């Protein structure tokens, strides 16, 4: 049985609000795991064109349907593929966003399980996006404090990326959702690339 496309929930809304706070306009933006198309709609307001992908054909269809209903289908390309693997590698996207599966779970729902430590799936999304990231491009993704998210940021730093926590939201007694900004190039001196997590630890 094919699972339903991932619906907009607290994590999707948090990612959308974080994207709306990012200044700038972009020629081409991308989304991995477009689900029902909520984030695609946000990206369409920020970029001249958007490429949205989902491995689930029903999710791709629903995103395209949303684009047509909302009237922004003229600037959106929806692709059914694994991450962005159907897109040629190179300096393609100025902005890429994704709300990946992020919960630590080895055998859970593929829509929410991010792997044994919760960061394996998010890091695989980053890997695919990075191969198609413009020189001064941005990636914006969501992680959970229940995952080994600090290790994920450390791995990204080792690979030459700058990371910062854009915002965080508590969604229960024991979990925070974290929106992470990832940049390849060194930021301007006025931009912080190191931040603190909700617990006061350095990122």
Mean pLDDT on 68-75: 97
Q: How many domains does the chain have?
A: 1
What separation, in Å, do the N-terminal and C-terminal C-alpha atoms of the chain show?
Answer: 40
**What was the pLDDT predicted at 8?**
63
Which CATH number covers residue 121? 3.40.50.150
Q: What are the tokens at 8?
A: 């907009």
In angstroms, the CA 94 to CA 30 distance is 8
Question: What does the pLDDT read at residue 140?
Answer: 98
- Give residue-wise pLDDT tens across range 10-44: 999 999 999 999 988 899 999 999 999 999 999 99
pLDDT at 176: 96
Residue 100 located in a structural domain: yes
Q: Is residue 149 part of a domain?
A: yes
Asked whether residue 78 is assigned to any structural domain, the reply reads yes
d(CA 196, CA 68): 40
In a domain, residue 173? The reply is yes
| Strands of 76-80's sheet in order across | 76-80, 47-54, 26-32, 93-98, 133-144, 176-183, 162-170
Q: For residue 45, what are the domain limits? A: 10-183
Residue 2 placed within a domain: no
192 domain-assigned:
no
Quick one: average pLDDT of 42-66?
97
Look at residue 197 and tell me if it is in a domain: no
């Amino acid at each position: 049985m094919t699972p339903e496309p991932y619906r907009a929930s607290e994590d999707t809304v948090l990612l959308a609000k974080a994207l709306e706070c990012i200044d700038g306009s972009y020629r081409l933006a991308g989304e991995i795991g477009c689900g029902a198309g909520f984030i695609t709609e946000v990206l369409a307001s920020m970029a001249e064109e958007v490429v949205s992908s989902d491995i689930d054909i029903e999710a791709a269809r629903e995103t395209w349907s949303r684009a047509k209903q909302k009237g922004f289908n003229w600037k959106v390309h929806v692709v059914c593929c694994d991450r962005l693997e159907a897109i040629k590698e190179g300096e393609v996207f100025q902005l890429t966003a994704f709300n990946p599966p992020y919960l630590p779970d080895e055998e859970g729902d593929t829509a929410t399980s991010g792997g044994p430590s919760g960061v394996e799936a998010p890091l695989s999304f980053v890997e695919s996006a990075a191969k198609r990231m413009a020189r001064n491009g941005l990636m914006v993704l969501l992680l959970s404090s229940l995952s080994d998210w600090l290790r994920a940021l450390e791995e990204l730093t080792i690979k030459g990326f700058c990371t910062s926590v854009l915002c965080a939201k508590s969604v229960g007694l024991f979990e925070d959702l974290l929106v992470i900004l990832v940049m390849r190039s060194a930021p301007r001196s006025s931009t912080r690339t190191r931040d603190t997590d909700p617990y006061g630890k350095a990122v």
